[in-house]
Amino acid sequence: MKLKLHYQILIAMIFGAGIGLPLNYLAYRGDIDVSVPQTVAMYGKGVGDVFLRLLSMIVAPLIVTSLITGVTCTGNAKGLGRLGGRTMFYYLSTSMIAIVTGMLVFNVISPGEGANLAILEQGAETLSAAPHMVEQTLGQTMWNQLFTLIPGNPFNSLSDPSNRSILGVIFFSIMFGVFINASGDETREFLTKFFNSSYEVMMKMTMFIIRFAPIGVLGFMLYASAGKGIDVFRALGWYVLTVAIALSIHAFITLPLILVFIAKRSPWAYFQAMSPALLTAFSTASSNGSLPLTLTCVEERAGISNRISSFVLPLGATINMDGTALYEAVAVLFIAQVTGHELAFGQQVVVAITALLASIGAAGIPHAGTVMMVVVLSAVGLPISAVGLILAVDRVLDMYRTSINVWSDSTACAVMDRFEGRPAETTSHK
């Protein structure tokens, strides 16, 4: 029987640590030459870098096809009218609230403080290489981030090997999807079908590359454990706790408050109605995979109209990633902290905005947030090699944040259902 991917990653993590930690300890005691763990770490880094190269390769095309497909799912330009505007406002607002929650929890706990692992920093770009991050006011930082959104040449942005221009790709893809919907029937039908097919291909390619994650994790765990010792795991434990606390605050405080005060629904009853979809999202770590069940729960168990659910949920499965946005922001701050780059407030604002935009382009499939992590790290000039360390504990966090993504999509349906003229009602668990 073939092991599931998260078990393979866990085994790779344990195996890498089981080799690297003893070598690091023996070198510390002087029982073996220090060059032995260094050599193992070097080869591990090489293996991990190949996996990261594959991830970087698919970032731009995955974002383009995912976003355009999400925007064109409305079927016509009218779908981007009042309902579309309200839905987009909700999605952007809750994702930003999630990011701010994560960053506040991070700054309270400081999971990477004192670790100073300098993970994979050699040869990587640092903050000093990112001119928009150095000694700028908050206003300048915001303006530069906004200006970066508009690509001078979208084709150059697509071919940028560093993926630093990916924000321009996100902006162009959304605009392109909007104007596909505004085109004539024949053009709209052809391009919608083309990008839907392209998105399916990119998802298959992404899942193929993700299958190599255990090898990448093994390589990076060898590098981290052989080169840095037990400090790696101590810092990772605090990181997991930080993300879990922040996600819980968003899931059990923020979204229920939205249900009570905006949607005028009972959070507990609505949670019961959505529980099959939420459990499926948790077990599969896939927003897209749980979409059919989410639609069924929203309509049949929560009483939301098909007109609302058929628009809000497919769009949300593509662009509304509260949990992913929170995770990416915290992960980037953690990587910055353990590599010795303390980010000032203005720099954290850049992380927040970039995480928001990157989460919009994240596909609703397992580990898609890892792909988008490359975008956020590149935007702030941090070493993307550190993604390998985060991957070691990603699966459990991926399951949790995916269920929160679906919970937020479902909450959006309740909010839109109220504002589209339906009387407020309390759901019951059928």
Q: Identify the pLDDT of residue 370.
A: 67
pLDDT tens digits for 240-299?
A: 999 999 999 999 999 999 999 999 999 999 999 998 888 877 866 667 667 767 888 888
Q: What is the pTM of this model?
A: 0.67
The residue type at 246: A
Q: Is residue 426 in a domain? A: no
Find all residues with CB under 8 Å of 121, minimum gap 6, and list them: 339, 340, 383
Query: What is the domain extent for residue 221?
Result: 5-419
Tell me which H or E stretch contains 47. Answer: helix 35-72
Q: Identify the pLDDT of residue 404.
A: 94
- CATH at 280: 1.10.3860
Q: Is residue 27 in a domain? A: yes
Q: Is residue 203 in a domain? A: yes
Q: Is residue 396 in a domain? A: yes
The residue type at 364: G
Q: Is residue 256 in a domain? A: yes
Quickly list H helices, 289-393: 291-296, 306-319, 322-338, 345-360, 368-379, 387-391
Q: Identify the pLDDT of residue 423.
A: 45
| Lookup: tokens for 53 | 């190269």
Q: Is residue 424 in a domain? A: no
Q: How far is CA 406 from CA 92, 178, 271, 295, 364, in A?
A: 15, 24, 11, 11, 10
Closest CA to 214 of 20, 395, 19, 385: 395
Closest CA to 330 of 234, 236, 403, 219: 236
∠ Cα 251 257 258 (to 5°): 90
Q: Is residue 425 in a domain? A: no
d(CA 344, CA 278): 36
Looking at the structure of the chain, the number of domains it has is 1
Q: Is residue 430 in a domain? A: no
Q: Identify the pLDDT of residue 163.
A: 54
d(CA 191, CA 317): 20
CB atoms within 10 A of CB 184: 8
pLDDT tens digits for 33-80?
A: 888 888 888 888 888 888 778 877 876 787 788 778 767 765 555 555
Q: Which residues of the chain have pLDDT under 70?
A: 1, 5-6, 59, 70, 73-81, 114-149, 157-167, 227-229, 231-232, 283-286, 288-289, 292, 314, 318, 361-371, 379, 385-386, 388-389, 392, 395-396, 421-430
Instruction: Determine the straight-line distance between the first and last CA of the chain, rounded to whole angstroms.
Output: 37
d(CA 7, CA 275): 25
**What single DSSP character describes residue 427?**
-
